[in-house]
């Protein structure tokens, strides 16, 4: 959010956390994930981007 770039140090752990705590049956719940002062809105657009990352 807010157009800031953030380097995710461990993409696998990040994805796992998002799927476990910010989705319902694998679908985004439109919640906000905060990490080190950066905010991510977990919506369908965010999930499309996240699924492309390896």
DSSP 23-39: EETTEE---EEEETTEE
pLDDT of the residue at 33 = 97
- pTM metric for this prediction: 0.88
Instruction: Give the count of alpha carbons within 13 A of 41, CB side only.
Output: 8
Mean pLDDT of all residues in the chain? 94
pLDDT of the residue at 53 = 85
List, in order, residues 6 or more apart from 46 with CB less than 8 Å away.
28, 40
Which residue ranges make up each domain of the chain? 11-52
- 54 has a pLDDT exceeding 80: no
Average pLDDT over residues 24-48: 96
């Amino acid at each position: 959010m807010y157009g800031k770039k953030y380097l995710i140090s461990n993409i696998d752990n990040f994805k796992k956390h998002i799927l476990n705590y910010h989705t319902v049956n694998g679908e985004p719940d439109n919640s906000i994930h905060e990490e080190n002062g950066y905010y991510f809105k977990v919506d369908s657009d965010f999930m499309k981007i996240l699924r492309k990352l390896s």
